[in-house]
Amino acid sequence: MTKVPREFCFTDCYWDWLELAVGRNARLLYSACLYGVVTVSLYPYDGNGDVVQAFCETRCPSINTLHTMVGELSISLWDLWSFRGLPIKGDLYEKRIPSFKELSSSRDLSISYQYLFRANYSIVCTQRKDCTTSSKNDSQVTISYWISFWYLDSINYNKPTTHKQKKSSRSKSTQKLNGSKIQTCEWSSRENMLFAELVIKNNLKDETYLVVFLSCWLCLFVFPHEESFLRPGVFMAASLMAAGTIYSPTVLVLANIYHGLGLITKASNPIGRMNFHFPMHYVHGWLAHYFGTHYPLPTEVRGPKMTNFSGEGRSIYFGEYEARELIHNGARIQWHANLQNMNKHKRMVDTHDSSFL
């Protein structure tokens, strides 16, 4: 079975940080329609490269539609909302850095937004002083450095080890993630010292902490990039999200997925040797939902439907021939209800009267 590169998996301290940040800001995340979509990233997502390759072979990139023997279907905005949790309504998401004039005069941007640049500058200065990390990219902050700068608590999750998957059995993971550790925690003395060094006001600690986490989440999980750097262009959106603004990144995420799948379709190299950068975990969730490519979890975990197929080793073994048969023939497609006013499975026959829709 060919593995898919650049899958969303273990990142040092990210899951620990997520549980801490979400536990402290659950109310704000719920009000901004972000709780479910953020907790989705608490779990790893793996996939079968042969299945993805067969999916791209059957898919028409010009209309972004999958053509199977039993019908056509496509990854849609509805899918990203219904079982991945991405908000489908709200302000249009955009990445940009406002000018100094706009930053200093805008009433919409919280002062926590300025704290992020202060922290970013502090990290860059530290990197430049450190000879071991000095490079041409020393003006950029890696996601790993950003996490280690802000997360100062104990480490509960170590890198999981998985057994090699065999055709007749599922691989086992040593990692146990279920969201049960998400709870409110008091600020530690180390955290208070960090806030004092950055001159962050006490009444803005919760909001600032959420903003710095959302900035990481956007760069790592929602809009992964070729370089694992934090992108200051996400600071403004993260700040407004933490203040309660509901954003809809769904269109951009879907466009990113379509673009990435198009690159796979056009590439001459096997998928296992490719180095692409888009949210492949959403594709794995879609394939699991419609084609049954993953083992569902024995018990449901906290989060949208996509989390039921999460975890190391949840991908079912399919060889190259089996994967093509699975996708091309479409015999195992699970046609789910996808009408907003009719969310139960129901067979409908076209009688030239669509008034019931």
Burial level of 90, CB count in 10 A (0-12/13-18/19+)? middle
Residue 146: the pLDDT is 94
Please indicate, yes or no, if residue 44 is contained in any of the structural domains: yes
| pLDDT tens, the chain, 357 aa long | 555 555 677 788 999 999 999 999 998 898 888 898 999 998 888 888 889 889 988 999 889 999 999 888 899 998 898 887 888 888 878 777 766 666 666 565 667 778 888 898 888 888 777 755 555 566 789 999 999 999 999 888 887 665 455 555 555 554 555 555 677 788 999 999 999 999 999 988 998 999 999 999 999 999 988 778 899 889 988 988 888 888 888 999 999 999 888 888 887 666 656 667 788 899 999 999 999 999 988 776 666 888 888 888 888 989 989 999 999 998 788 876 555 556 556 666 667 665 545
Residue 107: the pLDDT is 60
Question: How many domains are contained in the chain?
Answer: 1
Strand ranges for the chain from DSSP E: 59-60, 65-68, 71-73, 91-92, 247-248
Query: If you count DSSP H runs as helices and E runs as strands, how many of each does the chain have, helices first?
Result: 14, 5
Residue 174: the pLDDT is 43
Please indicate, yes or no, if residue 103 is contained in any of the structural domains: no
Q: What are phi and psi of 147, to 5 degrees?
A: -65, -45
Cα distance between residue 335 and residue 289, in whole Å:
9
The HSE-up count of residue 216 (CA atoms within 13 Å, CB side) is: 26
Please indicate, yes or no, if residue 115 is contained in any of the structural domains: no
Pairing of strands 91-92, 71-73: unpaired
Enclosing domain of residue 333? 1-13+33-90+248-338
Residue 244: the pLDDT is 85
Residues 6+ apart with CB under 8 A from 282: 75, 80, 84, 253, 257, 306
Please indicate, yes or no, if residue 161 is contained in any of the structural domains: no
Neighbours of 62 (CB within 10 A): 7
Please indicate, yes or no, if residue 255 is contained in any of the structural domains: yes
Please indicate, yes or no, if residue 293 is contained in any of the structural domains: yes
Please indicate, yes or no, if residue 222 is contained in any of the structural domains: no
Closest C-alpha to 1, from 291, 311, 319, 322: 319
Helix (H, G, I), strand (E, B) or coil at 98: coil
Please indicate, yes or no, if residue 48 is contained in any of the structural domains: yes
